[in-house]
Amino acid sequence: MSQAFDPFDSVAPRLPSKDGEPAWEAAYFFAPQGRWSEETFLQFHTNQMAELVEGRLEILPMLTWLHQLILEFLFDRFRDHVRQQKLGGKMLMAPLPIKLFPGTIREPDLLYVRPENIPADIRGYPDKIDLAIEIVSEDLKSRQRDYEEKRIDYAKAGVSEYWIVDPQEQVVSVLTLQDAQYQIDQECRVGETAKSRLLSGLAIPVDDIWALGNSKNQP
């Protein structure tokens, strides 16, 4: 169990909190930043998505309409391919905590798990996935998280393939795991087609993705 905050610590806000200030006392019900356990994180309830990164709680940005349109489109395309090709396994979408390694739990926007890696206890949380897809939000921290931090984390966890879908730059990057590090297999821009090495035969024209942001009347 993580040690609780010391209300008299020099870095703690002055208590009791005053009217008009945040209710600092409520923070003492949670673990100190940097000392969150997996158990504490998985018991944490919030209406906003969050991740655990080396014992630190990270609150993720609110998702936009475009983000969810892209999420739905890619989920349908990947799931249909898995089913049509009878590949088995599961294509799933967030929110679903993935235990990458001790102290770090991520929630990829989309993920694929091969049949042999489906957890025996489906009431728990997966600790092995084979493909992760992140749809990049516009803020700088999100871009750093998806392009740099998650690239390191997913590689460390042995995720075979990582897609980074960037609506702002209109580029889809497909990364494949080689010698425990990701190599950029494709960087697909307007007019090009992104292909999966893991799910053979899956190909998505990236223009179909960007078109989702050009029409108000979505099916």
| Domains in the chain, number | 1
Specify if 21 maps to a domain.
no
pTM for the whole thing?
Answer: 0.83
Arithmetic mean of pLDDT, 28-40? 72
Instruction: Answer whether residue 142 is part of any domain.
Output: yes
Exposure on the CB side of residue 211, measured as CA atoms within 13 A: 11
Q: How confident is the model at residue 53 (pLDDT cuts 50, 70, 90)?
A: confident
51 part of a folded domain: no
Inside any domain, residue 55 = no
Q: 53 — phi, psi (to 5°)?
A: -130, 105
Q: What is the pLDDT of residue 56?
A: 82
| 3-state secondary structure (DSSP) of residue 51 | strand
Residue 19 lies in a domain: no
Q: Which long-range contacts (CB under 8 A, 24 or more apart) does 160-163 make?
A: 160/130, 160/131, 160/198, 161/130, 161/131, 161/132, 161/196, 161/197, 161/198, 162/131, 162/132, 162/133, 162/134, 163/131, 163/132, 163/133, 163/134, 163/194, 163/196
The residue range of the domain holding 144 is 65-213
What is the tens place of the pLDDT at every residue in 121-164? 888 888 999 999 999 999 999 999 999 999 999 999 999 999 99
- CATH value at residue 206: 3.90.1570.10
The verdict on residue 43 lying in a domain is no
pLDDT at 63 over 70: yes
Q: What are phi and psi of 74, to 5 degrees?
A: -65, -40
pLDDT score of 41: 72
